[in-house]
Amino acid sequence: MRRLALFLACLALCAGLWTCSRPKPLRIAISAWAGVEVAELAAALGLYAKHGVEVRMVRFSTYSDSLAALRGGKVDAGMHTLDDVIRSTAAGRDARVVLVTDASFGGDGLVARKEIRTLADLKGRRVGVEVGTVGHYSLLQILKRAGLTLGDITVVSIPAWEIKEAFLAGTIDAGVTWEPYLSASAAEGGGRVLITSRDYPDTILTTMAFAAEVVRDRPGDVRRVLAAYFEAFDFLRAHPREADEIMAKAEGIGVEEFLEHAKGLRYLDLAANKRLFADGRLAALTADIGAFLRGAGLIRATPDPKVLLDGTLLPASPAAQ
Protein backbone atom coordinates (compact mmCIF):
# COMPACT_ATOMS: atom_id res chain seq x y z
CA MET A 1 0.00 0.00 0.00
CA ARG A 2 2.83 2.36 0.88
CA ARG A 3 4.51 1.63 -2.45
CA LEU A 4 1.23 2.27 -4.28
CA ALA A 5 0.68 5.53 -2.41
CA LEU A 6 4.25 6.61 -3.17
CA PHE A 7 3.79 5.71 -6.84
CA LEU A 8 0.55 7.69 -7.05
CA ALA A 9 2.13 10.66 -5.32
CA CYS A 10 5.03 10.62 -7.78
CA LEU A 11 2.62 10.31 -10.68
CA ALA A 12 0.61 13.28 -9.46
CA LEU A 13 3.79 15.32 -9.00
CA CYS A 14 5.01 14.49 -12.50
CA ALA A 15 1.63 15.38 -13.94
CA GLY A 16 1.69 18.69 -12.10
CA LEU A 17 5.19 19.47 -13.33
CA TRP A 18 4.20 18.56 -16.89
CA THR A 19 1.15 20.83 -16.69
CA CYS A 20 3.21 23.70 -15.32
CA SER A 21 5.82 23.25 -18.06
CA ARG A 22 3.25 23.53 -20.84
CA PRO A 23 3.22 27.01 -22.36
CA LYS A 24 0.01 28.94 -21.95
CA PRO A 25 -2.19 29.34 -25.04
CA LEU A 26 -1.48 32.48 -27.01
CA ARG A 27 -4.58 34.66 -26.82
CA ILE A 28 -5.26 36.72 -29.94
CA ALA A 29 -7.92 39.45 -29.85
CA ILE A 30 -10.09 39.77 -32.93
CA SER A 31 -13.23 41.66 -33.94
CA ALA A 32 -15.33 41.69 -37.11
CA TRP A 33 -13.35 42.81 -40.14
CA ALA A 34 -13.01 40.65 -43.24
CA GLY A 35 -9.30 41.35 -43.53
CA VAL A 36 -8.36 39.69 -40.24
CA GLU A 37 -10.53 36.61 -40.50
CA VAL A 38 -7.75 34.55 -42.07
CA ALA A 39 -6.43 34.21 -38.51
CA GLU A 40 -9.80 32.76 -37.50
CA LEU A 41 -9.72 30.52 -40.56
CA ALA A 42 -6.40 29.08 -39.36
CA ALA A 43 -8.04 28.23 -36.04
CA ALA A 44 -11.08 26.64 -37.67
CA LEU A 45 -8.85 24.46 -39.87
CA GLY A 46 -6.78 23.34 -36.88
CA LEU A 47 -3.60 24.81 -38.37
CA TYR A 48 -2.22 26.32 -35.18
CA ALA A 49 -2.25 22.90 -33.54
CA LYS A 50 -0.75 21.40 -36.69
CA HIS A 51 2.18 23.77 -36.38
CA GLY A 52 2.64 23.00 -32.71
CA VAL A 53 1.25 26.06 -30.96
CA GLU A 54 -1.89 26.45 -28.88
CA VAL A 55 -3.87 29.54 -29.82
CA ARG A 56 -7.13 30.88 -28.43
CA MET A 57 -8.92 33.41 -30.60
CA VAL A 58 -10.69 35.88 -28.31
CA ARG A 59 -13.52 37.52 -30.22
CA PHE A 60 -14.92 40.92 -29.25
CA SER A 61 -18.17 42.38 -30.53
CA THR A 62 -16.64 45.87 -30.70
CA TYR A 63 -13.22 46.86 -32.00
CA SER A 64 -12.52 49.23 -29.12
CA ASP A 65 -12.93 46.40 -26.60
CA SER A 66 -10.47 44.31 -28.59
CA LEU A 67 -7.98 47.16 -28.50
CA ALA A 68 -8.50 47.67 -24.77
CA ALA A 69 -7.81 43.98 -24.16
CA LEU A 70 -4.37 44.25 -25.75
CA ARG A 71 -3.59 47.51 -23.98
CA GLY A 72 -4.70 46.03 -20.67
CA GLY A 73 -2.62 42.86 -21.04
CA LYS A 74 -5.65 40.56 -21.19
CA VAL A 75 -4.50 39.08 -24.51
CA ASP A 76 -1.10 38.37 -26.03
CA ALA A 77 -1.78 39.79 -29.47
CA GLY A 78 -4.41 41.69 -31.41
CA MET A 79 -5.61 42.35 -34.93
CA HIS A 80 -5.58 46.14 -35.12
CA THR A 81 -4.86 48.99 -37.51
CA LEU A 82 -1.29 50.23 -37.63
CA ASP A 83 -2.16 53.60 -36.10
CA ASP A 84 -3.79 51.92 -33.10
CA VAL A 85 -0.72 49.77 -32.51
CA ILE A 86 1.40 52.93 -32.58
CA ARG A 87 -0.93 54.52 -30.03
CA SER A 88 -0.89 51.45 -27.78
CA THR A 89 2.90 51.29 -27.81
CA ALA A 90 3.21 55.00 -27.11
CA ALA A 91 0.80 54.58 -24.19
CA GLY A 92 3.02 51.94 -22.59
CA ARG A 93 1.79 48.61 -23.98
CA ASP A 94 4.88 47.82 -26.00
CA ALA A 95 4.00 45.75 -29.06
CA ARG A 96 5.60 44.35 -32.18
CA VAL A 97 3.92 44.30 -35.58
CA VAL A 98 4.77 40.90 -37.06
CA LEU A 99 2.26 40.72 -39.90
CA VAL A 100 0.13 43.01 -42.10
CA THR A 101 -3.14 41.24 -42.86
CA ASP A 102 -4.75 43.62 -45.35
CA ALA A 103 -4.87 47.07 -46.86
CA SER A 104 -8.05 49.05 -47.32
CA PHE A 105 -8.74 49.22 -51.06
CA GLY A 106 -12.04 51.00 -51.49
CA GLY A 107 -13.49 50.13 -48.10
CA ASP A 108 -12.79 53.62 -46.71
CA GLY A 109 -13.37 56.98 -48.31
CA LEU A 110 -15.14 60.32 -48.36
CA VAL A 111 -18.84 60.87 -49.08
CA ALA A 112 -20.02 64.32 -50.17
CA ARG A 113 -23.14 66.16 -51.19
CA LYS A 114 -23.99 65.92 -54.88
CA GLU A 115 -23.06 69.56 -55.56
CA ILE A 116 -19.50 68.80 -54.42
CA ARG A 117 -18.09 67.38 -57.63
CA THR A 118 -14.33 67.61 -57.05
CA LEU A 119 -12.00 67.52 -54.07
CA ALA A 120 -11.31 71.22 -54.59
CA ASP A 121 -15.02 71.87 -53.93
CA LEU A 122 -14.46 70.79 -50.31
CA LYS A 123 -12.97 74.22 -49.57
CA GLY A 124 -15.09 76.05 -47.02
CA ARG A 125 -17.21 72.97 -46.32
CA ARG A 126 -18.00 71.14 -43.07
CA VAL A 127 -16.26 67.77 -43.16
CA GLY A 128 -16.98 65.14 -40.55
CA VAL A 129 -14.17 62.86 -39.38
CA GLU A 130 -13.19 61.02 -36.22
CA VAL A 131 -10.34 63.27 -35.09
CA GLY A 132 -7.12 61.53 -34.14
CA THR A 133 -7.83 58.29 -36.00
CA VAL A 134 -6.55 56.79 -39.23
CA GLY A 135 -9.61 58.42 -40.87
CA HIS A 136 -8.25 61.81 -39.83
CA TYR A 137 -4.87 60.84 -41.27
CA SER A 138 -6.61 59.76 -44.48
CA LEU A 139 -8.38 63.11 -44.70
CA LEU A 140 -4.98 64.80 -44.76
CA GLN A 141 -3.95 62.61 -47.70
CA ILE A 142 -7.23 63.42 -49.48
CA LEU A 143 -6.83 67.16 -49.01
CA LYS A 144 -3.24 67.06 -50.26
CA ARG A 145 -4.50 65.68 -53.56
CA ALA A 146 -6.56 68.86 -53.99
CA GLY A 147 -3.88 71.22 -52.72
CA LEU A 148 -5.92 71.92 -49.60
CA THR A 149 -5.14 71.85 -45.88
CA LEU A 150 -7.25 71.38 -42.77
CA GLY A 151 -7.40 75.17 -42.58
CA ASP A 152 -9.41 75.26 -45.81
CA ILE A 153 -12.30 73.25 -44.32
CA THR A 154 -14.30 73.14 -41.11
CA VAL A 155 -13.50 69.87 -39.35
CA VAL A 156 -16.44 68.39 -37.42
CA SER A 157 -15.30 65.67 -35.01
CA ILE A 158 -17.69 62.71 -35.27
CA PRO A 159 -17.15 58.96 -34.71
CA ALA A 160 -16.81 57.24 -38.09
CA TRP A 161 -19.93 55.11 -37.60
CA GLU A 162 -22.02 58.27 -36.94
CA ILE A 163 -20.96 60.03 -40.16
CA LYS A 164 -23.95 58.62 -42.02
CA GLU A 165 -26.43 60.00 -39.47
CA ALA A 166 -24.78 63.44 -39.54
CA PHE A 167 -24.68 63.44 -43.34
CA LEU A 168 -28.37 62.58 -43.61
CA ALA A 169 -29.22 65.19 -40.97
CA GLY A 170 -27.37 67.86 -42.96
CA THR A 171 -24.97 68.81 -40.18
CA ILE A 172 -21.97 68.06 -42.40
CA ASP A 173 -21.35 68.48 -46.13
CA ALA A 174 -18.94 65.59 -46.41
CA GLY A 175 -17.51 62.89 -44.19
CA VAL A 176 -14.79 60.26 -43.94
CA THR A 177 -16.03 56.79 -43.03
CA TRP A 178 -15.91 53.15 -44.12
CA GLU A 179 -18.23 50.60 -45.63
CA PRO A 180 -21.10 49.95 -45.36
CA TYR A 181 -21.66 53.51 -44.03
CA LEU A 182 -19.82 55.07 -46.98
CA SER A 183 -22.06 53.78 -49.79
CA ALA A 184 -25.20 53.93 -47.66
CA SER A 185 -24.62 57.61 -46.88
CA ALA A 186 -24.27 58.44 -50.57
CA ALA A 187 -27.29 56.37 -51.59
CA GLU A 188 -29.66 57.52 -48.85
CA GLY A 189 -28.45 61.11 -48.73
CA GLY A 190 -28.44 61.73 -52.45
CA GLY A 191 -24.71 62.32 -52.42
CA ARG A 192 -21.66 60.75 -54.02
CA VAL A 193 -18.58 58.82 -52.91
CA LEU A 194 -15.97 61.33 -53.98
CA ILE A 195 -12.84 59.29 -53.29
CA THR A 196 -11.96 55.92 -51.74
CA SER A 197 -8.86 54.22 -50.41
CA ARG A 198 -8.31 52.79 -53.88
CA ASP A 199 -6.96 56.25 -54.64
CA TYR A 200 -4.59 56.25 -51.63
CA PRO A 201 -3.69 52.55 -51.23
CA ASP A 202 -1.38 51.09 -48.58
CA THR A 203 -2.38 53.85 -46.17
CA ILE A 204 -4.92 52.08 -43.97
CA LEU A 205 -3.31 48.82 -42.90
CA THR A 206 -4.49 46.18 -40.44
CA THR A 207 -1.89 44.19 -38.55
CA MET A 208 -1.26 41.34 -36.18
CA ALA A 209 0.73 42.73 -33.27
CA PHE A 210 2.10 40.75 -30.33
CA ALA A 211 3.05 42.12 -26.94
CA ALA A 212 6.80 42.77 -26.99
CA GLU A 213 7.48 40.35 -24.14
CA VAL A 214 5.78 37.51 -26.03
CA VAL A 215 7.97 38.09 -29.08
CA ARG A 216 11.01 38.19 -26.78
CA ASP A 217 10.15 35.11 -24.72
CA ARG A 218 8.33 32.93 -27.25
CA PRO A 219 9.63 33.77 -30.74
CA GLY A 220 9.27 30.16 -31.86
CA ASP A 221 5.57 30.14 -31.03
CA VAL A 222 5.03 33.44 -32.85
CA ARG A 223 6.74 31.92 -35.91
CA ARG A 224 4.38 28.94 -35.67
CA VAL A 225 1.37 31.27 -35.54
CA LEU A 226 2.54 33.04 -38.69
CA ALA A 227 3.25 29.76 -40.47
CA ALA A 228 -0.29 28.60 -39.67
CA TYR A 229 -1.70 31.96 -40.80
CA PHE A 230 -0.08 31.75 -44.23
CA GLU A 231 -1.13 28.14 -44.65
CA ALA A 232 -4.69 29.35 -44.06
CA PHE A 233 -4.04 32.07 -46.63
CA ASP A 234 -3.06 29.40 -49.14
CA PHE A 235 -6.29 27.57 -48.31
CA LEU A 236 -8.24 30.77 -49.00
CA ARG A 237 -6.66 30.99 -52.45
CA ALA A 238 -7.21 27.32 -53.25
CA HIS A 239 -10.73 27.00 -51.81
CA PRO A 240 -12.17 30.54 -51.74
CA ARG A 241 -15.83 29.63 -51.33
CA GLU A 242 -15.24 27.21 -48.46
CA ALA A 243 -12.87 29.65 -46.77
CA ASP A 244 -15.31 32.56 -47.14
CA GLU A 245 -18.09 30.46 -45.63
CA ILE A 246 -15.91 29.65 -42.60
CA MET A 247 -14.89 33.28 -42.13
CA ALA A 248 -18.44 34.57 -42.58
CA LYS A 249 -19.64 32.09 -39.96
CA ALA A 250 -17.04 33.42 -37.53
CA GLU A 251 -18.59 36.89 -37.93
CA GLY A 252 -22.14 35.57 -37.70
CA ILE A 253 -23.15 36.83 -41.14
CA GLY A 254 -24.01 35.29 -44.51
CA VAL A 255 -21.27 34.59 -47.01
CA GLU A 256 -22.61 37.11 -49.56
CA GLU A 257 -22.53 39.89 -46.98
CA PHE A 258 -19.02 38.87 -46.00
CA LEU A 259 -17.90 38.99 -49.63
CA GLU A 260 -19.41 42.47 -49.96
CA HIS A 261 -17.28 43.63 -47.03
CA ALA A 262 -14.18 41.94 -48.46
CA LYS A 263 -14.54 43.88 -51.74
CA GLY A 264 -13.12 46.96 -50.06
CA LEU A 265 -9.82 45.44 -49.01
CA ARG A 266 -6.77 43.69 -50.36
CA TYR A 267 -5.48 40.64 -48.50
CA LEU A 268 -1.69 40.70 -48.23
CA ASP A 269 0.12 37.42 -48.80
CA LEU A 270 3.59 36.37 -47.63
CA ALA A 271 5.35 37.96 -50.60
CA ALA A 272 3.55 41.28 -50.05
CA ASN A 273 4.45 41.19 -46.36
CA LYS A 274 8.11 40.57 -47.13
CA ARG A 275 8.16 43.52 -49.51
CA LEU A 276 6.45 45.84 -47.04
CA PHE A 277 8.87 45.01 -44.23
CA ALA A 278 11.94 45.06 -46.47
CA ASP A 279 11.53 47.99 -48.85
CA GLY A 280 10.99 50.71 -46.26
CA ARG A 281 7.38 51.56 -47.17
CA LEU A 282 5.97 50.18 -43.93
CA ALA A 283 8.61 51.96 -41.88
CA ALA A 284 7.97 55.23 -43.70
CA LEU A 285 4.21 54.96 -43.18
CA THR A 286 4.75 54.13 -39.50
CA ALA A 287 6.95 57.19 -39.04
CA ASP A 288 4.48 59.40 -40.91
CA ILE A 289 1.47 58.22 -38.88
CA GLY A 290 3.49 58.55 -35.68
CA ALA A 291 4.39 62.14 -36.55
CA PHE A 292 0.72 62.87 -37.31
CA LEU A 293 -0.41 61.43 -33.97
CA ARG A 294 2.25 63.35 -32.09
CA GLY A 295 1.41 66.56 -33.93
CA ALA A 296 -2.23 66.07 -32.98
CA GLY A 297 -1.22 65.71 -29.33
CA LEU A 298 -2.40 62.09 -29.14
CA ILE A 299 0.98 60.59 -28.25
CA ARG A 300 3.99 62.09 -26.51
CA ALA A 301 6.66 60.08 -28.27
CA THR A 302 6.82 58.40 -31.65
CA PRO A 303 7.76 54.70 -31.53
CA ASP A 304 10.86 53.79 -33.52
CA PRO A 305 9.74 51.84 -36.64
CA LYS A 306 12.90 49.72 -36.39
CA VAL A 307 11.70 48.51 -32.99
CA LEU A 308 7.94 48.41 -33.58
CA LEU A 309 8.12 46.47 -36.85
CA ASP A 310 9.50 42.94 -36.77
CA GLY A 311 9.38 41.05 -40.04
CA THR A 312 12.06 38.56 -38.98
CA LEU A 313 9.49 36.03 -37.77
CA LEU A 314 7.76 35.66 -41.14
CA PRO A 315 8.20 32.24 -42.81
CA ALA A 316 11.21 32.21 -45.13
CA SER A 317 9.02 30.96 -48.00
CA PRO A 318 5.66 29.25 -48.53
CA ALA A 319 7.50 25.91 -48.50
CA ALA A 320 8.89 26.74 -45.05
CA GLN A 321 5.43 26.80 -43.56
Chain segment 6-63, per-residue pLDDT in tens: 555 545 554 454 444 578 999 999 998 999 999 999 999 999 999 999 999 999 998 8
pLDDT digit string, tens, across residues 157-172: 999 889 999 999 999 9
> For residue 38, what pLDDT is reported?
98
pLDDT digit string, tens, across residues 126-158: 999 998 888 999 999 999 999 999 999 999 999
Q: What does the pLDDT average to over 253-279? A: 95
Is residue 100 within 8 A of residue 186, CB to CB? The reply is no
Is residue 207 within 8 A of residue 111, CB to CB? The reply is no
pTM of the model: 0.85
> For residue 122, what pLDDT is reported?
97
Percent of the chain with pLDDT over 70: 92
User: Is 212 a residue whose pLDDT tops 80?
Assistant: yes
How many CB atoms sit inside 10 A of residue 232's CB? 24
> For residue 10, what pLDDT is reported?
47
pLDDT digit string, tens, across residues 95-126: 999 999 999 999 999 999 999 999 999 999 99
> For residue 224, what pLDDT is reported?
98
